[in-house]
Chain A
Amino acid sequence: MFLQQLINGITIGSTYALVAIGYSMVFGVLELINFANGAVYMLGGYLTLMLYTGLVGNFGLSFALGILLTGAIGYCIDRFGLRRLRAKKVPKITGLITTLGISTIIENAVRIFFGSETKPYPNRIDFGQITLGGVTISSSQMIILLVSVFLMTITSLMVYRTKMGKAMLAISQSQEASLLMGINVNAIISLTFIISSALAAIAGTMVGMYYQNIDASMGFSVGMKTLASAVLGGVGVLPGAMVGGVLMGVFETLGASYISSGYRDAISFAILIIVILFKPSGLFGRKQITKV
């Protein structure tokens, strides 16, 4: 049973990881907790579904369009909600409240326009399951894990190997200095939002397919856990977010099965708190040097 639970945990964890990467990117660049990310994740799943059932009819195409649309919404969040705040150099806390407000808007809007009932979701990644020594693994589980590793690799390469990624890192150090170095700060930040929202849309759709349903409140609790995952791995470190996500999933699953199902989330949060207390900058985060 332990092995089965471990696999269950890794699957849940990889769905967290998908969203956590997006969180971590925005963290890294802006030092902003984007509370709207959970809502965007839910919205991404809904958009794909609505395009599929309502307009396009082809799942692959709807998925692609859904990702693009969600990316566009990510851009709008930054362009209309946050850019002016940056220009005014207001405390970071203000941006946090804005993202909370945006997530309220998205959640309510989805309920009004798409209906508030839980909707069935087609599973296009279900190709059966294999059983090995009493342990059952479904194709969906494997695909979700592979996709999150793949996306983590791509985004890591993008951030750590390309010029654009260097620009992101530069902005995270100092926006003014980056501006002086000729980096188009606003464009890069918008791009960060687009990428993180697109990742959230992929996650939302994959999770929708895996659980075969979707509802408007699915963003909130996942948002909280993925935020915790990103922090556990170390803020701004993308492989860290991936590991953090998987670990949160495993903690949660093992906690639920060996300690108490009622305390499931409490256990994973307790472990998170303990880890952070001993390693205050997360598992893979660099220790920050405080300058006076």
Chain B
Amino acid sequence: MKEKKMRAMAIVLAALLISGCGVSGEGTTAASSAGTAAGTTEAASTAQEATGGTGNITKHTLAASVPLTGTMMQYGTSYKNAMEMAVADFNAAGGLNGEDVILEVYDDKGEQKEGINVANMIIGNEDTFAMIGSYGSSVSMAAAPVYQEAGMPMISPNTSHPDYPDMGSMMIPLACKSEVVFGEVAQKLFDQFGACNLAVIYQNTDVGITTLDAVKERFESLGGTVCAAETFVPNQTKDFTPLLSKIKATNPDILFLVAEYSDGASIVLQSKQLGMEDVQLVGVGNVFKQEFLDLAGTKADGMLLMGISRIYTPEIMESSSFGTYTEDIVKRYNETYGANGIAFDNFAALAYDAAMVAMNAAKNAGTDNTEALVQEIKKLNIPLCAGDAHFDENGDLIREIFVFSVQDGTFVFEASK
């Protein structure tokens, strides 16, 4: 009996030890990851940048809150890789007036509670000048008030929730609101296919709902018909045959899908299984990934993809002209992280841009005046690897719309506007 209790004590002690190490290890991991990111840039860092800016640079940490565990881990990992690369690149080019930027990445599990914990951790670090995150609107929106109150610029690579930009002056989305983009997309569809039957299948998330609203409003006002709109819960639904059978009965000409790449591929495959061969498939930004084609294969042939994100598969990179800046980043990213992980995609591009924009703004505007820093970030006046973007007079982010298609199991670049 006594022995057992001793064992229990030992385990509790071990757990305490682990946790103790965790606390003290925090700084060192961050430092070491920054160390690797910094690479061999000591020579460069001795040279003081004379072209600095107006403010003083007193802070050197860039924080990030991304899901590194849980169902959204894959996106968080892309973010983390891209940001590490961005910070390494920036430091190699001289850093903040010769001093290296330190990247601190925290795991928020894609859960609100964790996101807020991380937020409080990030604002507690006096050395942090801006943060990037999170993946998914749910976490970003929950954590936003914490950052707003602490005056921490929050750059959110793909939070497209319509209320997000209004949550405060610190909120900087790099994704467009659905209402801005998908009205245009509906217009393009109408121009190309005329007043036809459009069926929508959308995920029950903020992106899904706002996209449906935007597409439906524009398409119907132009004279087209939205003949069906069916929804599903992502990560929970694998079988779309009930929805597709129902949609099939309404005789659609176009099937418009708003889904993550995995669900999107399932929808494509299952629609073909149900014999919906002559329906034009149209997908939006979330399926712009090589992994989508790995899953859907040639069954997606003829599908159109429209949205603000670009595709970075080798075929596309060869045929299109995204510029050497983007090409170089894609190449290096795939060499470093692509072999045993997810290839460079739009999420990586946005995260890279977010980190670069933040660091360059800190360099130009200094870090002691947060308002000036935010203004500088919002100028977006550096090369962006996800494509040009700017904030219009309403404060909405505007990006180009790209059109791709799938032919013989590969993506083909169609047009951009």
> Which residues of A line the B interface, CB within 8 A?
1, 4-5, 8-9, 11-12, 108, 111, 115-120, 129, 131, 136, 138, 207, 211-213, 215-218, 221-222, 252-254, 256-257, 261-262, 264-265
- 21 examples of A-B residue contacts, CB within 8 angstroms: A8-B239, A8-B245, A108-B69, A115-B340, A115-B341, A116-B74, A117-B291, A117-B342, A207-B238, A211-B238, A211-B270, A212-B295, A213-B265, A216-B71, A252-B242, A253-B241, A254-B242, A261-B230, A262-B204, A262-B233, A265-B236
Q: Which of A129, A213, A262 contacts B231 (CB 8 A)?
A: A262
* CB neighbours of B295 from chain A (8 A): 118, 120, 212-213
In the assembled complex, the Cα of A262 lies from the Cα of B246 at a distance in Å of 13
Check: B91 CB closer than 8 A to any chain A CB. Answer: no
Which residue of the partner chain B has the closest CB to A129?
Answer: B273
Which residue of the partner chain B has the closest CB to A111?
Answer: B73
Q: Which of A5, A136, A216, A264 contacts B232 (CB 8 A)?
A: A264
**B235 contacts A264, CB within 8 Å?**
no
Q: Which of B77, B237, B340, B342 contacts A264 (CB 8 A)?
A: B237
In the assembled complex, the Cα of A265 lies from the Cα of B261 at a distance in Å of 22
Check: B266 CB closer than 8 A to any chain A CB. Answer: yes
Which residue of the partner chain B has the closest CB to A253?
Answer: B242
Known A-B contacts A108-B69, A118-B261; the reply to A261 vs B242 at CB < 8 A is yes
In the assembled complex, the Cα of A265 lies from the Cα of B246 at a distance in Å of 17
Check: B243 CB closer than 8 A to any chain A CB. Answer: yes
* CB neighbours of A252 from chain B (8 A): 242
Q: Which of B230, B235, B262 contacts A221 (CB 8 A)?
A: B235
**A12 contacts B275, CB within 8 Å?**
no
* CB neighbours of A120 from chain B (8 A): 294-295, 297
Tell me, rounded to whole Å, the shortest Cβ–Cβ distance linking B58 to chain A. Answer: 37
**B69 contacts A9, CB within 8 Å?**
no
**B266 contacts A213, CB within 8 Å?**
yes
Q: In the complex, which of the residues A116, A136, A217, A218 has the most CB atoms of chain B within 10 Å of its own CB atom?
A: A116
Q: Given known contacts A264-B242, A265-B233, what 4 new A-B pairs fall within 8 Å (CB)?
A: A8-B242, A118-B265, A120-B295, A136-B275
Check: B269 CB closer than 8 A to any chain A CB. Answer: yes
In the assembled complex, the Cα of A207 lies from the Cα of B297 at a distance in Å of 18
Known A-B contacts A1-B249, A8-B245; the reply to A116 vs B233 at CB < 8 A is no
In the assembled complex, the Cα of A208 lies from the Cα of B158 at a distance in Å of 30
B residues 204-240 near A (Cβ < 8 Å) are 204, 230-233, 235-239
* CB neighbours of A211 from chain B (8 A): 238-239, 266, 269-270
Which residue of the partner chain B has the closest CB to A117?
Answer: B74
Which residue of the partner chain B has the closest CB to A252?
Answer: B242
Tell me, rounded to whole Å, the shortest Cβ–Cβ distance linking A253 to chain B. Answer: 4
In the assembled complex, the Cα of A8 lies from the Cα of B238 at a distance in Å of 12
In the assembled complex, the Cα of A154 lies from the Cα of B294 at a distance in Å of 36
Sort A-B residue pairs by CB-CB distance and give the 4 closest, nearest first: A118-B262, A8-B241, A116-B74, A256-B242
In the assembled complex, the Cα of A9 lies from the Cα of B77 at a distance in Å of 36
**B249 contacts A221, CB within 8 Å?**
no
* CB neighbours of B232 from chain A (8 A): 261, 264
> Which residues of B line the A interface, CB within 8 A?
69, 71, 73-74, 77, 204, 230-233, 235-239, 241-243, 245-246, 249, 261-262, 265-266, 269-270, 273-275, 291, 294-295, 297, 340-342
**A257 contacts B242, CB within 8 Å?**
yes
In the assembled complex, the Cα of A264 lies from the Cα of B242 at a distance in Å of 10
In the assembled complex, the Cα of A116 lies from the Cα of B235 at a distance in Å of 13
* CB neighbours of A8 from chain B (8 A): 239, 241-242, 245
Which residue of the partner chain B has the closest CB to A123?
Answer: B269
Tell me, rounded to whole Å, the shortest Cβ–Cβ distance linking B296 to chain A. Answer: 9
* CB neighbours of B266 from chain A (8 A): 211-213
In the assembled complex, the Cα of A12 lies from the Cα of B239 at a distance in Å of 7
* CB neighbours of A254 from chain B (8 A): 242
**B243 contacts A256, CB within 8 Å?**
yes
In the assembled complex, the Cα of A82 lies from the Cα of B246 at a distance in Å of 46
Q: Which of A131, A216, A217 contacts B275 (CB 8 A)?
A: A131
In the assembled complex, the Cα of A253 lies from the Cα of B244 at a distance in Å of 11
Tell me, rounded to whole Å, the shortest Cβ–Cβ distance linking B211 to chain A. Answer: 15
Tell me, rounded to whole Å, the shortest Cβ–Cβ distance linking B249 to chain A. Answer: 5
**A257 contacts B71, CB within 8 Å?**
no
**A118 contacts B242, CB within 8 Å?**
no
Known A-B contacts A1-B249, A257-B242; the reply to A118 vs B274 at CB < 8 A is no
Q: Which of B74, B261, B273 contacts A136 (CB 8 A)?
A: B273
Which residue of the partner chain A has the closest CB to B69?
Answer: A108
**A213 contacts B242, CB within 8 Å?**
no
* CB neighbours of B262 from chain A (8 A): 117-118, 213, 215
Q: In the complex, which of the residues B69, B233, B242 has the most CB atoms of chain A within 10 Å of its own CB atom?
A: B242
In the assembled complex, the Cα of A254 lies from the Cα of B77 at a distance in Å of 38
Which residue of the partner chain A has the closest CB to B74?
Answer: A116
**B245 contacts A4, CB within 8 Å?**
yes
**B291 contacts A212, CB within 8 Å?**
no
* CB neighbours of B246 from chain A (8 A): 1, 5, 256-257, 261
Which residue of the partner chain B has the closest CB to A121?
Answer: B295
Tell me, rounded to whole Å, the shortest Cβ–Cβ distance linking B277 to chain A. Answer: 11
Which residue of the partner chain B has the closest CB to A207?
Answer: B238
Tell me, rounded to whole Å, the shortest Cβ–Cβ distance linking B66 to chain A. Answer: 12
Known A-B contacts A213-B262, A213-B265, A221-B236; the reply to A116 vs B245 at CB < 8 A is no
Q: In the complex, which of the residues B77, B238, B274, B294 has the most CB atoms of chain A within 10 Å of its own CB atom?
A: B238
* CB neighbours of A115 from chain B (8 A): 74, 340-342
Which residue of the partner chain A has the closest CB to B270?
Answer: A211
Which residue of the partner chain B has the closest CB to A260?
Answer: B231
In the assembled complex, the Cα of A117 lies from the Cα of B237 at a distance in Å of 16
In the assembled complex, the Cα of A211 lies from the Cα of B268 at a distance in Å of 11
In the assembled complex, the Cα of A192 lies from the Cα of B115 at a distance in Å of 41
Tell me, rounded to whole Å, the shortest Cβ–Cβ distance linking B209 to chain A. Answer: 11
* CB neighbours of B239 from chain A (8 A): 8, 11-12, 211, 253
Which residue of the partner chain A has the closest CB to B291?
Answer: A117
* CB neighbours of A216 from chain B (8 A): 71
* CB neighbours of A262 from chain B (8 A): 204, 231, 233
* CB neighbours of A131 from chain B (8 A): 275
* CB neighbours of B270 from chain A (8 A): 211
* CB neighbours of B249 from chain A (8 A): 1
